[in-house]
């Protein structure tokens, strides 16, 4: 009897912008879920999406530094660089090339509906550039370029993922089965970690310092920020996001980081004051981040090693991307390249 051919591995793809210091929101909503794919079944690619980051004005030297730093964070968070393809988006020109083609298959009306565009235009009223508007098309290109099946992301990216799926289906409808239609993968809790100061808004790394916990914040800073987190004026510890957004946010952070449910986290603290709740969040956050911070420090003392990983993986990702790009270029009717 013939042995069945090995199934090709499914592709997992995600990216994070090097637009600031990563927050506990990025960690809980995205990064923490990146290493949950067994490597005998999945090939994972994780990119530092520097091309997305320049949709908002950046200081060049700081951005360059943050790219390497984010790659080190990926590794420090437990992603084995031998098994995961960790690379910089700008090192693979196929992203921009596919994005151009996909721009021609995306409608203005679709992009006009994107809530992230609306939020960011309001935040950066002096720089509402075309890149900010077509940002989701570049994200669709990132994903579709690699035949991705699964995209681990936070809830705020759901709308962008839906658009990527629509673009893939539209393109496939015209040219046949070219792209795999990707699925989003969201955590059970903490898919939307809220700001510590305004718990009805998403925690965001480009907001003021006291609204977020950065992954590299030292313990005393974490303690201080959580102590000042906004709660409410009654004293009951209960998960109720509509009426108690601050307390519910803290419970979600505990639940996500201890792999429990919000109800279990609330039950454990029932009858205690907000001081105790904050103490518990502080302990959980610090003990989660300590090993990551130590490993990050070690890696940043050897920048050559991290740079070497990015260089090696850029080559691998370029190779994978070119295969898909050539197929798409052929489908849409671009000129033949001749064969040498």
Residues marked as catalytic: 120, 202, 205
CA distance 305 to 299: 8
Token pair belonging to 306: 């991290």
Task: Choose the contact partner of 106 out of ligand LTN, ligand ATP, none; CB within 5 to 8 A by kind.
Answer: none
SS3 breakdown of the chain: % helix, strand, coil, rounded to 5?
55, 10, 40
The footprint of ligand LTN (CB under 6 A) covers: 13-15, 17, 49, 52, 139, 142-143, 151, 153, 157, 160
Considering only residues 205 to 264 of the shown chain, the ones binding ligand ATP according to CB under 6 A are: 205-206
Q: How near is the Cβ of 50 to ligand ATP at its closest, in Å?
A: 11
Q: Is 36 helix (H, G, I), strand (E, B) or coil?
A: coil
Task: Choose the contact partner of 192 out of ligand ATP, ligand LTN, none; CB within 5 to 8 A by kind.
Answer: ligand ATP
CA distance 264 to 281: 14
End-to-end CA distance of the chain: 41
Q: Which is nearer to ligand LTN, 181 or 230 (CB)?
A: 181
Q: Which is nearer to ligand ATP, 111 or 178 (CB)?
A: 111
Residues in contact with ligand ATP, shown as a per-residue x/- string from 179 to 198 under the rule CB under 6 A: ------------xxx-----
Check binding of 138 to ligand ATP (CB under 6 A): no
Q: Are 215 and 23 in contact (CB under 8 A)?
A: yes
Check binding of 25 to ligand ATP (CB under 6 A): yes
Q: Which is nearer to ligand LTN, 160 or 192 (CB)?
A: 160
Chain CA centroid to CA 212, Å = 16
Check binding of 30 to ligand ATP (CB under 6 A): yes
Residues in contact with ligand ATP, shown as a per-residue x/- string from 143 to 182 under the rule CB under 6 A: ----------xx-xx-------------------------
Task: Choose the contact partner of 253 out of ligand LTN, ligand ATP, none; CB within 5 to 8 A by kind.
Answer: none
User: Is 125 buried (19+), middle (13-18) or exposed (0-12) by CB count in 10 A?
Assistant: exposed
* DSSP label at residue 20: S
Scan for tokens 């098994």, then name that residue.
Answer: 83
CA distance 40 to 31: 20
CA distance 268 to 271: 9
φ, ψ for residue 270, nearest 5 deg = -55, 135
Check binding of 12 to ligand ATP (CB under 6 A): no
Task: Choose the contact partner of 85 out of ligand ATP, ligand LTN, none; CB within 5 to 8 A by kind.
Answer: none
By the criterion CB under 6 A, which residues form the site for ligand ATP? 16-17, 19-20, 23, 25-26, 28-30, 153-154, 156-157, 191-193, 202-206
């Amino acid at each position: 009897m013939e042995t069945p051919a090995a199934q090709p591995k499914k592709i997992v793809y995600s990216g994070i912008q090097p637009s600031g210091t990563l927050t506990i929101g990025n960690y809980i909503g995205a990064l923490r879920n990146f290493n949950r794919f067994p490597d005998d079944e999945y090939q994972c690619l994780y990119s530092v999406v520097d091309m997305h980051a320049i949709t908002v004005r950046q200081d060049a030297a700081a951005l360059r530094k943050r790219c390497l730093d984010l790659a080190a964070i990926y590794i420090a968070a437990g992603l084995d660089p031998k098994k995961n393809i960790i690379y910089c988006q700008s090192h693979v020109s196929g992203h921009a090339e596919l994005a151009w083609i996909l721009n021609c298959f995306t409608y203005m009306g679709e992009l006009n509906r994107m809530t992230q565009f609306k939020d960011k235009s309001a935040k950066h009223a002096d720089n509402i550039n075309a890149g900010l508007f077509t940002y989701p098309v570049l994200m669709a290109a990132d994903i579709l370029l690699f035949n991705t099946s699964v995209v681990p992301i936070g809830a705020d990216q759901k709308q962008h993922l839906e658009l990527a799926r629509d673009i893939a289906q539209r393109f496939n409808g015209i040219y046949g089965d070219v792209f795999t239609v990707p699925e989003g993968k969201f955590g059970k809790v903490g898919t939307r970690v809220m700001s510590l100061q305004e718990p009805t808004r998403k925690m965001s790394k480009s907001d003021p310092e006291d609204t977020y916990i950065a992954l590299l914040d030292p313990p005393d800073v974490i303690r201080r920020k959580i102590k000042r987190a906004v709660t409410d004026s009654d004293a009951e510890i209960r998960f109720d996001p509509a009426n108690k957004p601050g307390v519910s946010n803290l419970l979600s952070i505990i639940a996500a980081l201890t792999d429990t449910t919000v109800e279990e986290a609330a039950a454990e603290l029932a009858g205690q004051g907000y001081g105790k709740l904050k103490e518990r969040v502080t302990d959980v956050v610090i003990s989660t981040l300590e090993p990551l911070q130590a490993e990050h420090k070690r890696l940043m003392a050897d920048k050559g090693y991290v740079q070497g990983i990015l260089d090696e993986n850029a080559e691998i990702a370029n190779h994978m991307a070119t295969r898909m790009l050539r197929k798409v270029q052929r489908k849409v009717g671009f000129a033949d390249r001749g064969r040498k």
